Amino acid sequence: MRLSRTHFVVGTRGSKLALEQANYVAALIKNTRKNLEVEVKVIKTSGDKIQDVALAKIGGKGLFTKELDKELLDYHIDVAVHSMKDVPAELDERLMIGSMPLREDVRDCVVMREGSSLDDLKEGARVGTGSLRRRAQLKRLRPDLELVNIRGNINTRLAKVLETKELDAVVLAAAGLNRLNLKDKISFYLNPEQMISAIGQGAIGIVCRTEDFYTQDIISEFSSKSTFNAVMAEREIMKKLEGGCQAPMGVFARELPTQPKMLRIDAFVSSLDGSKRIKLEHSDLAQNYEECGKHMADMLLDAGAQEILYAASKEYETQDDHVE
């Protein structure tokens, strides 16, 4: 393999958000190696092709990544750029997460036509979300709401509230709206006490070939150590609990502003309706991020998390979850 190159190819999905993230990474690479010609290549994934079925019904593993993985392994691209919450717990041993730039806002947010809190939603309001994690937590906060399963890109989801008015509100990741310069559409944020985010939410992952040290050297220069440590701690929990982004569970790890060398993890698992829930927290030295994540996973398992997640998956299999 050549150790010096003048052309560098960044692989990505084709959604507006994915392209925004890929172009951001391409700019970081170009700034790091000014002699490189950097190209962004769009690859269509299984998750992009299937829009009329709930993600949890078709299984979340690799839906937005496996085609990009193949392009990497076939040497058609140098890196693949992903939203970290889409990346499966286990990667092909020939691939690795080589870099994570500084994480964006991890919070979920609500977009609605009028109002600035959950209390402002009328009784029985129709709220759109395609996430079992969000649904379980919303059911606990506002059991009266009618939760509507939706798919599609951010603009499609916003239109259901702001234009066609099919929905009274929609819950989205704040990071996506921020990256698309749509922050002004946010009515209010859901803080971590109300809603714990998905594993890897707000973080961009750059995947490369394990033996490609040239590329690893480039992308490591703009990787955020605090982001990497936190997200990898979160992923340790996903590995042990086998809960991807479509399970009713959430994990949020971060270094504490008052104790920058400490890593705190908040995590929960829940039944689909939010009636059964385990919510725990754990802290350790940030440098021990893997052990911190594994310990939190063990705490959740000891508290009965596996049984709750198994029951939730079996219950969901029996539901006719229509996508609007």
Active-site residue identified among 69, 74, 78, 86: 86
Count of residues making up the chain: 324
- CA-closest candidate to residue 105, choices 155, 177, 161, 166: 177
Q: Which residues, in sequence order, are CB contacts of 209 under 8 Å at separation 6+?
A: 72, 73, 94, 95, 96, 215
How many Cα atoms are found within 13 Å in the side-chain-facing hemisphere of 175?
20
Q: Hey, what are 86's tokens? A: 């889409």
DSSP readout, 220-258? GGG--HHHHHHHHHHHHHHHHHT--TTSSEEEEEEEETT
The answer to whether 284 is a known catalytic residue is: no
Other beta carbons within 10 angstroms of residue 122's beta carbon come to 10
Distances (CA, A) of 120 to 73, 123, 178, 234: 50, 9, 23, 33
Q: Hey, what are 101's tokens? A: 């730039």
The residues that are catalytic are 86
